[in-house]
Structure 1
Amino acid sequence: MFQRIRSYCLSGIHAIPVSVEVDSSLGLPGFTLVGLPDSAVRESRERVVSAVRASGYSVTGTRTTVNLSPADLRKEGSSLDLPLAIGMLLASGEFEVNQIDRFVFLGELSLDGLLKPVRGVLSVAMSLVEEKDSVLVVPKDNIQEASLVEGLNVLGVSSLLECIEELKKDCSSLLIRSQGFSSHLKKNHPSYPDFKNIIGMEGVKRALEIAASGNHNFLLVGSPGSGKTLCAKCLPSILPEMTEDEIIESTRIHSCAKSIHSQNFSFIAERPFRSPHHSSTMVSLVGGGHQLLPGEVSLAHNGVLFLDELPEFNRQVLEALREPMEEGSVCIHRASGSIEWPARFMMGAAMNPCPCGYSMDLKKECTCLPDMKVRYWSKISGPLLDRIDLQISVPAMDITRLKSTSGLESSATIKKRVKVARTFQEDRFKNSKILYNSEMTSLQTREEAKMDSEAEHFAITAAEKMCLSARGYYRVLKVARTIADLRSSKNVEKLDLAEAFQYRLLK
């Protein structure tokens, strides 16, 4: 008997329809699986047979052929266990279901028949949003994730046996119709540090306010203990709240990466702040590996990727960031195909000015030789440094100022100004795919960074004296445009340019 079961596989954050075609016939007992399965899918036979036996059924004694269609798409992961088991049971006549084409099955089986959660359920649910009559059958641990899509019929089951029993009675007891995004969203208290807890450092706070307003990349350089990392960790507290589309997109990425624990599922409702260790490999940072999983650049999508101790990272790893920083995505190519992951993030970094760390300290003497400093800075390539809009000097804190707590601005106050600047950008780019000033092309930068002849002369003269590249010059103009937005001004003035140029004086 022939049976076709619907399921899905992942390609990046996208869900690709897969048909599990099962043919059970008389003949020498055997099992053949075709359709480009990976090792996890090939091993599913042993899991499925054991789970079926534990559920009180049997699929042995027949010749079974399984085709995973389309045959030219490589099938990865263990989410095809459940559709394979259902298909084998139906093909062997163990039970019958009306309108089996309505159902889409996802789930990994354990040997005792229990269902384990799988990754990427949200992407599958979004692919079924137009099919109002379809029923998505998932493990119970994935039911919250699946029910994020409004109007979708979701059936959560804990075991293969429970799934069979529900199918027999047309899913009358456990079937739910999801209420969608808003029913799951909860207002959480901010989990990031507040700028009001940082005494002094007004210049650094101002620079980070500009970075947050225009989504500009930044580099903090200062002595050990000067507060570089603390300031960076406060940055998400002044970023605007994520939109519904951003929340869904970020949650899809984390779901595909399985960085969300299904047993305690929650939205990625706050701007991600990813801070990988400096020993991170290229695969962990950019993505890839055997399963082509997203890396830190994609997990930081719509948020901040912060690289502390920047020169300690492998140089090849840092160089791999150049394309994602420009394109807002990362494309991973393999012989079997390619996958594109979203990677629109703000790149932040922190480092000491020299190996000993004290060349910028007014009280401690630097012990580094000149060639040591050259080697230290050479770990960061010119092209990478050129892509960092704000290069910020972080002075060491005067201990006597730690007693003063007056006049400290909270993150909420700074956030209001950031929102004003972002509103200007939303209106400016409402007819394009661009979201922030930092993403403007050179042509758009010339059009939007309007200035008078005096300001233009100042910009060209300063760029020539600083030997800036064309990219560096346009990045200065983008920062100046953001500074003007913070003033709610349509034109870029000379003072805006002067402030923007000072963030390129570090090296």
Structure 2
Amino acid sequence: MGYATTTGVALAGMEGHLVEVQAQLARSVPGFTLVGLPDTALAESRDRVRAAVLSTGIEWPQRKVTVNLSPASLRKSGSGFDLAIAMAVLAGHGVVPAAGLGAVVHLAELGLDGRLQPVRGVLPAVAAAVAAGHRDVVVAAGDEAEAALVPGARVHGAAHLGDVVLRHGGRLRYHRRVEPVAPARSAVPRRPGGDLADVVGQTEARTALEIAAAGGHHLAMVGPPGAGKTMLAARLPGLLPDLTDAEAVEVTAVHSVAGTFDPGGGLLRRPPFEDPHHTATPVAIAGGGTGLARPGAVSRAHRGVLFLDEAPEFAPRVLQTLRQPLEAGELVLHRSGGATRYPARFQLVLAANPCPCGMADTRAGQDCTCSVTARRRYLGRVSGPLLDRVDLQVHLPGPSRADRVLGAAGEPTRVVAARVAAARDRARERLRDTPWCTNAELPGPWLHERLRGERAVLGPVERQLDEGRLSMRGAHRVLRVAWTVAELDGRDVPRADDVDTATVLRTEGSRG
């Protein structure tokens, strides 16, 4: 009887769990049994592994082969266990030495010809292995650059199963060299370009954009076509500072699981930008799929910007999926394969026309044929509870002839980004002993405790609460924005005029 073990990694969302892959070869009726809660793709590995071994020139053992994925209570999914299963079986068959194999992590899918295929989620999987003390990792050559981004990992890339057999001291009757399989990537996150100086006029909207960048606040813009809503949204990522090391690893891990990470440029250092079309489904926005759910646009926008252009055109079910991540900064998806948790702390930017035809607030507004009821119904598709979670709501007028012909360029991105970076540094210093980094994350009790003695600041907010013009959530958001306004002006504590500015910027977008 032959027995050997090696190690794989099971991903549950962003969390990796080490799995001991055990292979037992008994003298009995030949067969191949795989146990340990595998999903369909993993159960099919029996055929892939057998074909890959035969393609390598190794005789398949004529024994009863039983492979167990331990712990058996943890559900395993995907094809990333193929290589680990093959190596455990070959070690049990005596093709490669079994000693020391259990300390090596194997992560790759096998093709029928024995080539190693890249898999999703290599970065978080290797990070989990290193954290558990397993530094030696064997991956497909196409995943080697991504796996090497994990500090402390000793990564070995291979193009073919035969390469792995030889590396572990096995012998082959013949070995052919093959070209590595390139990873199949979904659309890589778009990096919007353009400079803020391209936006003509719209002073109030530019101010709101700067405040949003400095405090991590959500933003809604209402205005006619051509007012500059999309241009402003696309320039928000350029105002945001680079991601910290911890944030870069976190964001890169999300995109690794989603299959949208290109390791050629290293860790993702710039905030991501996601702008799904208004025909996107709830699964595309929030994430989903069979078994364990995959990350959607809200998670791919983590630590970056999620832009919903023509927001009223999105299905109501799609917009409602945003409420949980806006509050919690993460998304929990429940599927038949279990619950999956993904980070989703993004900045939401909504853009909407003032009416279905879009002409209500143009200079030629008389051409609008929409009734008042139609306008209200159109903007009402973005629900009140969702808008209540948006800190800044501004109205953009249509550009005038003077703006189009004589409009002077505003401040460029680099100038505004410098002020944003200074404000974020002040916030980070003030919040250094807390778990928060930006004003948008501050909880209500913390705000009231810090502003208890500032009656000039709390007084106007409390009056609006009493008059019903602000909800409790809205009051907290006004205070957060006021603090960001103060920090942009170089002050550590907001004043009454900062609260006035925050209040105007929160309610201005309700016009039209």
Partner SS, residue 196 of structure 1? helix
Measured after TM superposition, the shift of residue 313 of structure 1 is: 0.8
Q: Which moved more, 1:276-285 or 1:229-238?
A: 276-285
Q: Distance in 1 between matches of 2:128 and 2:485?
A: 41
Unpaired runs of 5+ residues, structure 1, are: 171-189
- Residue 233 (structure 1) shift: 0.1
Alignment match, 1:487: 489
Partner of 2:53, secondary structure, is helix
Cα offset, 1:202, TM superposition:
1.6
Q: Distance in 2 between matches of 1:216 and 1:151?
A: 36
- 2:279 corresponds to which letter in structure 1? S
Query: In the alignment, what sits opposite 1:182?
Result: none
1:191 positional shift: 5.4
For residues 318 and 216 of structure 2, the distance between their equivalents in structure 1, rounded to whole angstroms, comes to 22
Report if the CA contact (8 A) 2:395-2:508 is conserved: no
Contact 1:451 1:493 in 2 (8 A): no
Q: How does 1:195-206 map to 2 (within 5 A)?
A: 195-206=196-207
Choose from 467, 470, 484 the match for 1:468.
470
1:35 — aligned with what? 36
Which range is displaced more, 270-279 or 284-293? 284-293
Q: What's 2:273 paired with?
A: 273
8 Å Cα contact 2:451/2:458 also seen in 1 = no
Query: Deviations 1:248-301 (Å, cap 9, x if unpaired)?
Result: 110001101111246x46422211010011111111111121141111111100
Tell whether the 8 Å contact from 1:450 to 1:491 is kept in structure 2 after alignment. Answer: no
Provide structure 2 residue ranges, at least 5 long, that are not aligned to the other structure.
172-190
Is the CA contact 1:304–1:346 (under 8 Å) kept in the aligned structure 2?
Answer: yes
Q: TM-score, normalised by structure 1?
A: 0.92
1:505 aligns with 2:508: yes
- For 1:251, give the aligned amino acid: T
Q: 1:432 aligns to what?
A: 434
Aligned residue runs from structure 1 range 343-362, under 5 A: 343-362=344-363
Map of 1:112 onto structure 2: 113
**2:221, 2:323 → 1: CA distance?**
18
Structure 1 stretches of at least 4 aligned residues deviating more than 4 Å after TM superposition: 130-133, 449-452, 462-466
SS in 2 for 1:278: coil
Which residue in 2 is equivalent to 1:458? 460
Contact 2:25 2:63 in 1 (8 A): yes
Counterpart-to-counterpart distance in 1, 2:3 and 2:459: 77
Which residue of 2 is the match for residue 254 of structure 1? 255
Whether 2:90 is the aligned partner of 1:82: answer: no
Q: What displacement does 1:444 show?
A: 1.2
Q: How many Å apart are 1:219 and its aligned residue?
A: 0.4
Determine if contact 1:23/1:65 at 8 Å carries over to the other structure: yes
Q: CA RMSD in A?
A: 1.9
Q: Read off the aligned partner of 2:104 and give its amino acid letter.
A: F
- Relative to the length of structure 2, the TM-score reads 0.91
8 Å CA contact retained: 2:95, 2:170: no
Moved more, 190-199 or 337-346: 190-199
| Counterparts of 1:505 and 1:60, CA distance in 2 | 74
Deviation at 1:440, TM superposition (A): 1.2
Give the AA of the match of 1:360. Answer: D
Partner of 1:166: 167
Does 2:118 match 1:153?
no
- Cα distance, 1:98 vs. partner? 3.8
Asked if structure 2 preserves the Cα contact closer than 8 Å seen for 1:451 and 1:492, the reply is no
Distance 2:151 2:19 in 1: 23
Equivalent residues in 2 for 1:125-274, closer than 5 Å:
125-130=126-131, 134-168=135-169, 192-261=193-262, 264=264, 266-274=266-274
CA contact (8 A) 2:6 2:103 kept: no
Comparing 253-262 and 69-78, the one that deviates more: 253-262
User: Aligned letter for 1:242?
Assistant: L
CA distance in 2: counterparts of 1:501 and 1:451, whole angstroms:
20
Is the 1:309–1:351 Cα contact (8 Å) retained in structure 2?
yes
| Residue 371 of structure 2 is aligned to residue 369 of structure 1 | yes
Query: Given the superposition, is the C-alpha separation of residues 454 and 99 from structure 1 closer, same or farther in structure 2, using an over 3 Å criterion?
Result: closer
Partners of 2:441 and 2:152 in 1: CA distance: 36
**For residues 394 and 246 of structure 2, what CA distance do their matches in structure 1 show?**
32
Q: How many residues align?
A: 487
Instruction: Select which of 410, 414, 432 maps to 2:416.
Output: 414
Q: Provide the residue aligned with 2:50 in structure 1.
A: 49
Secondary structure (helix, strand or coil) at the match of 2:33 reads strand
What letter is aligned with 1:100?
A: L
Separation in 2, partners of 1:211, 1:494 = 19
Amino acid at match of 1:430: R
AA at the equivalent of 2:160: S
Partner of residue 382, structure 2: 380
In structure 2, C-alpha distance between the alignment counterparts of 1:407 and 1:463, rounded to whole Å = 39
Instruction: Name the CA distance, whole Å, in 2 between partners of 1:394 and 1:451.
Output: 36
Give distance in 1, aligned partners of 2:414 and 2:18: 45
Deviations 1:200-246 (A, max 9, x none): 11211110000011111110100012110111000111111111111
- What is the deviation of 1:451? 6.9
CA separation of 1:37/1:407 partners in 2, compared to 1, >3 Å: closer, same or farther? closer
Shift of 1:400: 2.8
User: Structure 1 residue 465: deviation in Å?
Assistant: 4.9
Are residues 11 and 130 of structure 1, via their aligned partners in 2, closer, same or farther at CA, if it must alter by over 3 Å?
A: closer
Is 105-114 or 117-126 further displaced after alignment? 117-126
Rounded to whole Å, the distance in 2 between the matches of 1:456 and 1:338 is 41
Distance 1:449 1:417, change over 3 A: farther
Structure 1 residue 491: Cα displacement = 2.6
Question: Match for residue 319 of structure 1?
Answer: 320
Could you give the per-residue CA deviations for residues 377-427 of structure 1, whole angstroms, max 9, x where no partner exists? Answer: 221111111111100111111233234464521111001111121112111
